[in-house]
Amino acid sequence: MPPLKRRKSESASVAEEAGSPPAKKVAPNPDTPASAEKKKRGRPRKYPEGSAPKRPDGPKRGRGRPRKDPNAPTPVKPTTPKVGGAGRGRPRKTPTQNGTDSTPVKPKAETKPKTETKTTDAKATDERSYWLMKAEPESRMEKGVDVKFSIDDLRSREEPEAWDGVRNPVAQKHMREMKKGDYAFFYHSNCKVPGIAGVMEIVQEHSTDESAFDPAHPYYDEKSNRENPKWQVVHVKFQRKFRDLVTLTELKTHANAGGPLENLQVLKQSRLSVTPVSVTDWAYIMGLAEARELQAEAANPSKEGSTEGSPQDEEPGASE
């Protein structure tokens, strides 16, 4: 009969047993007799092993706080405050007097009487908006019609002029936002020396641009209809002409990063014919124009300035 083959696990365990050193034997304690009862761990028993626990005499003891006696009288709380002795918590800001709290009464805030503001027909200065509107001062033929219009042409008009021909949606949006009493710079565009020539006033708010329905007009729009007009105009009136043009080049010199005109919209959106002007930009540009006029008058006081002859008694200043 061939010898039985052992499994690898069995042979490995046998080899480990053969190679491992023999375990050390613990020497018996001579003080403890071999026949003594083995000592157990833990807390000793209250009752002998194998016997049932004895129930104590008397009522069963419950857990937690004992119940209150329902027959006991209810104690009455004293109504008078304690005399002397420190109370609990933070001391009062105002001491008690005669058993009552002396809570301080907050004084009522004085209400100022309302003052009625006088309303005038003219638009208030703080509500006025400012704009810049472009026109071409030099002759240019468009569909056989000369589209030239300068600040001198506006000055010669006896009636308010309709600012027509604006066909840009963004510029149209600005025109719809214009209110009566707003001021606008008259800007000479598409010419040799572009720049701001003067100031005009919005005297009539937006209305339908009739030139869009005229086939003979240079800015006729066949897609526009009277039921739903696409283009609008505002009516403007001459206010003043500057002695010297505030040129585009000069505006750009003040529009560098951190400059006073760095946010001037006509320099950021140069293709728009109508742009808004902030109050600070308006005041600064008016200051440039008026400073030149003062310098020119000081150099030649006998020469009349081009700002004279304005049909308006009040000229728009930089502070408006």
Q: In this predicted structure, what is the pLDDT of residue 264? A: 97
On the question of pLDDT at 23 being above 90, the answer is: no
Q: In this predicted structure, what is the pLDDT of residue 312? A: 44
Band the pLDDT of 55: cuts 50, 70, 90.
Answer: confident
Lowest mean pLDDT among 74-78, 144-148, 173-177, 236-240: 74-78
Number of domains in the chain: 1
Selection from 183, 197, 193 nearest residue 154 by Cα: 197
> What SS3 string covers 213-281?
HCCCCCCCCCCCCCCCCCCEEEEEEEEEEEEEEEEHHHHHHCCCCCCCCCCCHHHHCCCCCEEEECHHH
CA 280 to chain centre: 21
| Residue 284 resides in a domain | yes
Distance CA 12, CA 117 (A): 109
Asked whether the beta carbons of 281 and 264 are under 8 A apart, the reply is yes
Q: Which of 68 and 197 is assigned the larger pLDDT?
A: 197
**What is the per-residue pLDDT across 147-188, written as a single tens digit (0 to 9) for each?**
999 999 999 999 999 999 999 999 999 999 999 999 999 999
| Residue 92 resides in a domain | no
- With tokens 């240019």, the residue in question is 140
Q: In this predicted structure, what is the pLDDT of residue 94? A: 65
Q: Tokens standing for 236?
A: 């403007």
On the question of pLDDT at 11 being above 90, the answer is: no
What is the span of the domain harbouring residue 206?
A: 127-299
Question: Which range among 31-35, 96-100, 227-231 has the greatest average pLDDT?
Answer: 227-231
Q: Which of 311 and 139 is assigned the larger pLDDT?
A: 139
Band the pLDDT of 121: cuts 50, 70, 90.
Answer: very low
Partner residues linked to 237 by β-bridges: 201
Selection from 129, 231, 260, 249 nearest residue 182 by Cα: 129
| Residue 317 resides in a domain | no
| Residue 312 resides in a domain | no
- With tokens 């002998």, the residue in question is 48
DSSP letters for the chain: -PPPPPPHHHHHHHHHHHHSPPPPPPPPPTTS-TTSPPPPPSSPPSS-TTSPPPPPSSSPPPSSSPPPPTTSPPPPPPSSPPPSS--SSSPPSS--BTTB--PPPPPPPPPPPPPPPPP-SSPPGGG--EEEEEE--S--EETTEE----HHHHHH-SSPEE------HHHHHHHHH--TT-EEEEEE-SSSS-EEEEEEEEEEEEEE-GGGG-TTSTT--TT--SSS---EEEEEEEEEEEEEEEEHHHHHHT-STTSTTTT-HHHHSTT-SEEEE-HHHHHHHHHHHHHHHHHHHHH-TTSPPTTTT-S-SS---TT-
Q: Which of 46 and 138 is assigned the larger pLDDT?
A: 138
Q: What is the CATH number of the domain that holds 170?
A: 3.10.590.10
| Residue 219 resides in a domain | yes
Please tell me whether the overall predicted TM-score, pTM, comes out greater than 0.75 for this model: no
Q: Tokens standing for 282?
A: 């308006």
| Residue 253 resides in a domain | yes
| Residue 198 resides in a domain | yes
| Residue 209 resides in a domain | yes
Give the alpha-carbon dihedral of 27, 33, 34, 37, to 10 degrees.
-120
Q: In this predicted structure, what is the pLDDT of residue 34? A: 57
